Amino acid sequence: MLMVEIDPDKKKPLYEQIYEEIKRQIQVGTLPEKTKLPSARALAKRLEISRNTVDLAYGQLTAEGYIESRPRSGYYVCMVEDLAALDIQVETEEIDPEPKKEEMPYDFSPSGTEMEQFPYQVWRKLLKEVMINDNSELFQKGDAQGDLGLRKAIMYYLRQSRGVKVHCDQIILGAGMENLLFLLRQTFGTKQIVGVENPVYTNAYGILKELGFGVRPISMDQNGMKIDNLRKSDADLAYVTPAHQYPTGIVMPAGRRGQLLRWAKEKEGRYIIEDDYDSEFRYYGKPIPALQGTDHHEKVIYIGTFSRVIAPAIRVSYMVLPPKLLVKYRENVTAFSCSVSRIDQAVLTLFLSEGHFERHLNRMRNIYKEKHDLLLHCIRQFMNGADISGQGAGVHVMIDFHIRQNEQFERELRKQGVVIYPLSFYYMEGKPKEEKYILGFTRMKKKDMIEGTRIIGNVLSTIK
Amino acid sequence: MLMVEIDPDKKKPLYEQIYEEIKRQIQVGTLPEKTKLPSARALAKRLEISRNTVDLAYGQLTAEGYIESRPRSGYYVCMVEDLAALDIQVETEEIDPEPKKEEMPYDFSPSGTEMEQFPYQVWRKLLKEVMINDNSELFQKGDAQGDLGLRKAIMYYLRQSRGVKVHCDQIILGAGMENLLFLLRQTFGTKQIVGVENPVYTNAYGILKELGFGVRPISMDQNGMKIDNLRKSDADLAYVTPAHQYPTGIVMPAGRRGQLLRWAKEKEGRYIIEDDYDSEFRYYGKPIPALQGTDHHEKVIYIGTFSRVIAPAIRVSYMVLPPKLLVKYRENVTAFSCSVSRIDQAVLTLFLSEGHFERHLNRMRNIYKEKHDLLLHCIRQFMNGADISGQGAGVHVMIDFHIRQNEQFERELRKQGVVIYPLSFYYMEGKPKEEKYILGFTRMKKKDMIEGTRIIGNVLSTIK
């Protein structure tokens, strides 16, 4: 005999009260498997409610598989295994939040962007423009490689500013370099071994590792990656930053570029990944041309990003695939849509095509140049005998303080709120012969830069 | 003897003319390795220009590694191997564009979204709100799991509407399901074998395959995936759509859910991936609760998306990880930022928290319900003897026409501009005993639906 109590004064609809009570009884076993339920008509009569209300409750229970209707017989309880405690609320235990990084007042980090310079007004205006018409096409699924308009704008930019030989069909957009390297892995299909510069851009190294690439650190000399060592390794890909090596700041000279291209040409399937991460920032002379532009055998995969120049949250990176790899990409990568927001794509397209990007870039170049020059000035002023390298470009320099008590030095700096980045941190194998330090200036204010370098100078003088 | 001609009337700066000419001569071999260049002073005098101009040119050539300065001796040409044709412009050959799909007038596709219903005005208003203050924090790098505010809004939604047991720390956002499945693969680290329903949601199948999961199609009966067959396979993961199986529309009943949960409990490392892809659309009765909400052993990975309800370009999908897997995720996935645009995240946060989503959802549910009811009505009206299944939810139904001349049938429909989707297309192994068809109604206008079903009826009557 089914016992169901209902309360017409409760807020909950009657049919839900019936549904929940029967469900509960099935779950706890009061109504065992194969029990016949009263007919909807009978139950309705007993509860003095409309037949329709019971039908609704029985319908939901049937839909969820708690009861079943047998033709010309009625409703029966189904076998519901292992769900005894089905709807009992269990509080999910509090999960430890990830530890926050402590902010230091004088952090010479080479990453990030000077956010005060973000072209907020322009971005807002362009967003409005993009949304002004009932442009609902914008909310449909876009092209997997990225919107054609944006790819064209990037094509023109790369041809003009970087000497990259590119057709817009070769461009693939992704939300950050990690996304592009993922697509590259999918394109190859099989496990690839990548030679990387040692010391290396640790982010790229981490991404390659996590993506399951085999990663081989290749040692460098003053011209960049040693091609002999690359050749001795089992790598078929070489990840390099020829315009401004990260972190040493070395510009790979024409001769070494030629050797690298020859290495790639020697064997089918070899490719160079050129990460042109900060080529926009060169403060004296013309920009260093991209390696890709001098390649005649379709051996260079070119990668660049807007995150560094515009803002970290504008996660639009681009990759130029050699035609042969493009064919492979289209064969092997079919299930992945473009990871960049279409609204961000639309705004960026206008940002590029209406000349805002060029203006912004020129402004950023001036701002970073001023900071760069100030940093060099401060180093010469406060740090006696420090040797600077990798200057003239990018957003960091490397400094050799010629000291041996590095741990004590770093500890003392931290105490006084200064963070600089030891070169050894960027070594994935071995150690540098002499410890040097990376000092970046993207996010640092000028007065903090002066104060920070002054502190470094003071600490240096107590140590030497 | 270095021959350099300059033309002061050219638009190009003099130093660039000198730089380019010397570079060219080095590349073509006119200036071989180790050639000594004239001193800057001497060349300046000869060309009758300022010394500074030549210094600039030599500086750039040095930076790019074409020449080197030897102390107390002068500038010499470097060894530049293999770059003979370095800067010769090569036109990238035109690349074949990908073939476009032909649009058919009566396409009963189950994918996409009714775009006329996209809440354009609200979205624009919220975008404006998000950008109204100098909210430059929005353009900094965000949380790798997604912005906390949005994760909280999703947490409340999932708790209330889907009965999911979730803390916001367990939520990970990604640009589309493919991104989440990618993160899942990275979380596991090793190759996983996934049992999938057969027939299956082909997109998910394709993504799992391309991501390198081992994929095992598991046959189904009228209650969904057969757990015995799952148990016989080597799968440790089961990908299922319990609320509304894709494509058959089966609701997995409580009993089968219990069996599935028991299978997962039997072995350490087993997990169920619950894709709750269209649970928002149920037209009669209460929504079917999520499987995740009935799991007491942290065995269910819950996945959902906003793309289907809001718009395909709003690529925000979410995954709820069981606590144990969350720990693994944080250990194994460190190099990947959140793939969702922060602006999209900010707008969606307001869309959810200000109640727009609920209103939009209710509107869409009504619109789809009308279309759903109309489709059923038309099928009964025009297609004599057709059996419908999987109705009452989602954006498609399955129809058995009880015919054998399927190829002829489909061909004739195509001729008349109608596309419907054979069930066999969704089989990754074997074939259905009887061919059935999927008819979706997301993007179809009502008048086209009437006309399309009328055509199907006519073709049916000529075939039978």
pLDDT tens figures, B114-151: 777 888 889 999 999 998 876 778 888 899 999 999 99
Residue B314 distance to chain A (closest CA, Å): 7
Dihedral, A16, A18, A22, A25 alpha carbons, nearest 10: 100
- pLDDT of the residue at B96: 59
Contact A255 B80 (CB under 8 A): yes
Read off the pLDDT band of B3 (50, 70, 90).
confident
Spell out the residues 6+ positions from residue A451 whose beta carbon is closer than 8 angstroms to its own. Answer: A106
The total of other beta-carbon atoms located within 10 Å of residue A135's CB is: 13
Q: Which residue of A has its CA nearest to B345?
A: A341
- Counting DSSP H helices and E strands in chain B, the numbers are 14, 16
Read off the pLDDT band of B260 (50, 70, 90).
very high
Amino acid in the structure at residue B317:
S
Q: How do residues B292-306 score in pLDDT, each as one tens digit?
A: 999 999 999 999 999
**Cα–Cα distance for residue pair A131/B92, rounded to 1 Å:** 35
Q: Are the beta carbons of A154 and A306 closer than 8 angstroms? A: no
The total of other beta-carbon atoms located within 10 Å of residue A353's CB is: 15
Return the structure tokens found at A204: 């790229």
Contact A262 B124 (CB under 8 A): no
Q: List residues bridging with B396 in a β-sheet.
A: B440
Choose the closest CB to A136 out of B115, B176, B335. Answer: B115
A409: nearest Cα among A394, A391, A421:
A421
B318: nearest Cα among B163, B142, B164, B176:
B176
Q: How do residues A335-382 score in pLDDT, each as one tens digit?
A: 999 999 999 999 999 999 999 999 999 999 999 999 999 999 999 999
Read off the pLDDT band of B98 (50, 70, 90).
low
Is pLDDT of B362 > 70?
yes
My answer on whether omega of the bond before A247 falls inside 30° of 0, hence cis, is: yes
Spell out the residues 6+ positions from residue B340 whose beta carbon is closer than 8 angstroms to its own. Answer: A175, A341, B146, B173, B174, B175, B315, B316
Mutate: best of A262, A297, A341, A342, partner B, most B CBs <10 A: A341
**Cα–Cα distance for residue pair B396/B388, rounded to 1 Å:** 11
Chain A residues with CB inside 8 Å of B258's CB? 80-83
In degrees rounded to 5, what are phi and psi of residue A248? -75, -20
What distance lies between CA A59 and its chain's CA centroid?
A: 47
Choose the closest CB to A60 out of B140, B286, B315. Answer: B286
My answer on whether omega of the bond before A199 falls inside 30° of 0, hence cis, is: yes
Chain A residues with CB inside 8 Å of B134's CB? 120
Contact B341 A336 (CB under 8 A): no
Question: Counting one residue from A and one from B, how many pairs have CB atoms under 8 Å apart?
Answer: 268
- pLDDT of the residue at B439: 96
- pLDDT of the residue at B317: 96
Read off the pLDDT band of B85 (50, 70, 90).
very low
For B209-225, what is the mean pLDDT? Answer: 96
Return the structure tokens found at B44: 């300046």
Q: Are the beta carbons of B124 and B343 closer than 8 angstroms? A: no
Residue B458 distance to chain A (closest CA, Å): 33
Instruction: Provide the ipTM.
Output: 0.85
Q: How do residues B154-212 score in pLDDT, each as one tens digit?
A: 999 999 889 899 999 999 999 999 999 999 999 999 999 999 999 999 999 999 999 99
| Bridging pattern class, strands A237-240 and B271-275 | unpaired
Residue A178 distance to chain B (closest CA, Å): 6
Region for B82 from its dihedrals, namely left if φ exceeds 0, alpha if ψ lies in -120 to 50, beta otherwise: left
Helices marked H in A118-242: 120-132, 148-162, 177-188, 202-210, 227-232
Q: How do residues B16-35 score in pLDDT, each as one tens digit?
A: 899 988 988 888 778 888 88
| Bridging pattern class, strands B300-305 and B317-320 | antiparallel
Q: Which residue of A has its CA nearest to B133?
A: A120
- Classify A243 as helix, strand or coil: coil
Contact A210 B253 (CB under 8 A): no
For A262-278, what is the mean pLDDT? Answer: 95
- pLDDT of the residue at B5: 82
Residue A187 distance to chain B (closest CA, Å): 10
Q: How do residues A206-229 score in pLDDT, each as one tens digit?
A: 999 999 999 999 999 999 999 999
Contact B288 A98 (CB under 8 A): no
Residue B438 distance to chain A (closest CA, Å): 21
Relative orientation angle of helices A51-63 and A14-28, to the nearest 10 degrees:
40
Chain A residues with CB inside 8 Å of B19's CB? 286
- pLDDT of the residue at B339: 92
B223: nearest Cα among A358, A363, A63, A176:
A63
Q: Are the beta carbons of A428 and A355 closer than 8 angstroms? A: no
Q: Are the beta carbons of A139 and B118 closer than 8 angstroms? A: yes
Q: How do residues A342-355 score in pLDDT, each as one tens digit?
A: 999 999 999 999 99
Q: Which residue of B has its CA nearest to A223?
A: B65
Choose the closest CB to A169 out of B59, B95, B256. Answer: B95
Contact A63 B186 (CB under 8 A): no
Q: Which residue of A has its CA nearest to B77?
A: A255
- pLDDT of the residue at B86: 42
Give the helix/strand (H/E) hosting A67: strand A67-70
Choose the closest CB to B118 out of A116, A139, A335. Answer: A139
Choose the closest CB to B140 out of A120, A142, A312. Answer: A312
Q: Which residue of B has its CA nearest to A87?
A: B294
Mean per-residue pLDDT of chain A? 90
